[in-house]
Structures are given as structure tokens and as C-alpha cells.
Amino acid sequence: MSEKSRNPLLTVDVIIEVQDGIVLIERKNQPHGWAIPGGFVDYGESVETAAVREAKEETSLDVILSEQFYTYSDPRRDARHHTVSTVFIATANGLPRGADDAKEAKIFRENNLPEPIVFDHGQILRDYFVFKKTGRRPQP
């Protein structure tokens, strides 16, 4: 077989609950806009370790993962690559500060989310806010 094997890239996103809101980052790189903190899982790294690392790199916050929320895998979720993201919910104390590939990190509430929100993070956030109100998770 001469065709090179292609597989989706594994990523994590972390919905960080802090001070009655959640932390979003403004991206330095394309696509520009606001996103849930997260990134690629390194080879040899667990998704949990990647989630804590990416949250710290982008928000300067030490997070405590409270639960795995859902896994998003629509091949169209990221126009750059086919990615699969395991989304975690975490808590943190303190004020976020954008770092690494985050231009800025700020706290938002459901009624004041910034625009544009990139990737499928708008859908993830809608699912999260439904979950917080009703306990219902997304369905496959």
C-alpha cells in the first residue's frame, strides 16, 4: 500500500470555571478569534496531563480537572486539520493571563461571550451551559 496513513489529531479543550464565569482566550494565531483554552496532546502524554498543561500555558492558571465533559470529533470542527477533542471542565483560582499562543485570557459569562468564537467552540459552550442548567450532556 503506497498511500500514507492519515489519522485525526488528538486535542484537548478545558472549560475553566473561575469567579462565576469561564475563561476564554483570544488567539494569537490563525484562526483569529476567541477559543476555549486547549491544544494538541503530545506523544506519550495522557489527555488529562495535556489538559492541565495547555490550560497553564495559555491562561497562566493552575487548574484542577473536575470531569471529562464530552468528546467532539466532527471532521469539520477545525478547517486546518481533522481533530478530535476531549473537553474537560476544570476549576481554578486567580485571574487568567494570556500566555504562549494566547494573546489574552479573560473571564466571561453566558450572557457576555465575545465574538468571534472559533472552531466548534460556540457549540461546545452552548452544550456546556445546557449541562450546567439541566445536567444533560450532548448525545452522540
Helix (H) or strand (E) holding 126: helix 121-134
Instruction: Find the CATH number of the domain harbouring 40.
Output: 3.90.79.10
Q: Does residue 80 belong to any structural domain of this protein?
A: yes
Q: Which domain holds residue 87?
A: 9-134
The answer to whether residue 104 is catalytic is yes
pLDDT in tens, 75-93: 999 999 999 999 999 999 9
CA gap 16, 35 in Å, rounded = 12
Q: What is the pLDDT of residues 48-65, one digit of tens each?
A: 999 999 999 999 999 999
Q: Which of 58, 104, 110, 115 is catalytic?
A: 104
The rounded distance, in Å, linking the Cα atoms of 5 and 35 is 30
> Residue 139: inside a domain, yes or no?
no
Average confidence score pLDDT of the chain: 96
pTM of the full structure:
0.95
Q: What is the number of domains present in the chain?
A: 1
